[in-house]
């Protein structure tokens, strides 16, 4: 090769290095995060670092994938919205996605976890505000619907009946103080189904009492994701409320009926899965040993194995990153089972394929385990929006007194 040809190759490589680094920096991602988002596999960050440093260069297919990686968020707020909403304890925006599908525009969001906030920003083009406990309710914009998937916490003052002061020190208190200040027309809350029995029922009793004292008519139900076309046995309690001061016109709401759509795990599994998701001999032997110990004790605890024909899995949890024991995929005789991939976890929760996963596998497992089964929330959101529009309609904040007529 001539010297000129060598110079041209070096120049092309240098240009590619520069373009790859610029692309990553525009996205605001670390090398590890961008490598994970690109699906470069084990040690992908090292590969990306070599590309950026000019030590090697990507194949034409890899370079094309990098350059075509979306810089515009795939799920921006709609230009023409039917209603406004705020997204508290937003996580990666699962609840927002469901309500946005029915015309909701998010005017405020809050999430304290920096990794979840990064995933949220990449997908929605907005960086959530931080710790909600440090944000004054009066600084939050007016909105029609409050959304929150809040953690289950005991109330130290439960039973003293001091209004929402009973909940001070918990994150539900922040929901209550925002409801009191902003008086949105409706709210949607999601929690683990055990909330109803938490602290001998006192926690849930306090929540309902506080919501009623804030002039909201409250509905709640436990729904299962597998009954709404999601191959996951995930049960959650959903709490819906409508502002109803002075016993005014009630919103005719009812929870959606299950579709009982047939589900099959194989429909969400990837075809070619990296070997890094196959669990080690040591981990598998530990799973087998613990399962046998539980069996001798007469209980069914231990790891759970599923295959393509399984109708659904166990509940995906935020601890899945540890050992994957609640959902392992059978790979046939002679091969250890594997964990779900992050993309499969996204599908298991009903996230669309366009949803970008810009974080490590560990963070992705936590994020999807903490999120919601989107099809269930979509069905509830549809009923909520229709119930409001078919009765009082979405109102300006100054028109709320009309609800009492």
Catalytic residue numbers read: 152
Euclidean distance between CA atoms 43 and 40, whole angstroms: 8
CB 99 within 8 A of CB 91: no
- Chain-centroid distance, C-alpha 254: 24
> CA 291, 293, 295 angle in degrees (round to 5)?
70
Euclidean distance between CA atoms 131 and 143, whole angstroms: 19
Euclidean distance between CA atoms 28 and 109, whole angstroms: 19
Tokens for 147, please give them: 């959304």
Among residues 397, 388, 101, the alpha carbon closest in space to that of 217 is found at 388
Residue corresponding to tokens 């959530």: 128
Angle between helices 202-213 and 171-182 (to 10 degrees): 10
Give Cα separations from 123 to 18, 79, 128, 331, 355 (angstroms): 25, 16, 12, 33, 7
CB 189 within 8 A of CB 175: yes
DSSP state of 343: H
């Amino acid at each position: 090769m001539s010297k000129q040809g060598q110079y041209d190759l070096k120049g092309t490589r240098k240009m590619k290095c520069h373009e790859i680094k610029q692309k990553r920096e525009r996205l605001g991602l670390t090398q590890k995060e961008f490598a994970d988002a690109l699906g470069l596999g084990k040690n992908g960050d090292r590969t990306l670092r070599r590309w950026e440093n000019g030590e090697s260069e990507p194949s034409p297919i890899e370079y094309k994938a990098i350059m075509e990686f979306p810089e515009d968020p795939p799920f921006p707020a709609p230009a023409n919205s039917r209603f406004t909403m705020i997204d508290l304890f937003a996580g990666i925006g699962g609840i927002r996605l469901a309500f946005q599908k029915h015309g909701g525009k998010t005017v405020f969001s809050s999430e304290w976890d920096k990794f979840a906030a990064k995933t949220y920003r990449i997908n929605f083009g907005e960086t959530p505000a931080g710790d909600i406990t440090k944000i004054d309710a009066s600084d939050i914009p007016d909105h029609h619907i409050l959304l929150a998937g809040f953690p289950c916490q005991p109330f130290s003052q439960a039973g003293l009946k001091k209004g929402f002061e009973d909940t001070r020190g918990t994150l539900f208190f922040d929901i209550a103080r925002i409801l009191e200040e902003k008086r949105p027309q409706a709210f949607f809350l999601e929690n683990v189904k055990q909330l109803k029995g938490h602290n001998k029922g006192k926690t849930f009793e306090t929540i309902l009492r506080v919501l009623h004292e804030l002039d909201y008519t409250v509905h709640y139900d436990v729904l299962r994701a597998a009954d709404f076309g999601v191959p996951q046995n995930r049960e959650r309690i959903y709490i819906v409320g409508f502002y109803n001061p002075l016993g005014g016109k009630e919103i005719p709401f009812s929870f959606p009926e299950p579709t009982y759509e047939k589900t099959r795990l194989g429909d969400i599994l990837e075809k070619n899965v990296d070997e890094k998701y196959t669990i080690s001999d040591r981990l598998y032997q530990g799973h087998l040993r613990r399962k046998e110990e539980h069996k001798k004790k007469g209980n069914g605890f231990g790891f759970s194995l599923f295959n393509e024909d399984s109708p659904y899995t166990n509940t995906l949890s935020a601890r899945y990153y540890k050992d994957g024991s609640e959902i392992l995929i059978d790979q046939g005789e002679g091969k250890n089972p594997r964990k779900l991939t992050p993309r499969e976890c996204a599908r298991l929760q009903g996230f669309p394929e366009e949803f970008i996963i810009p974080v490590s596998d560990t963070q992705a497992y936590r994020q999807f385990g903490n999120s919601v089964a989107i099809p269930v929330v979509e069905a509830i959101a549809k009923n909520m929006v229709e119930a409001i529009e078919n009765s009082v309609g979405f109102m300006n904040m100054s028109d709320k007194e009309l609800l009492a007529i």
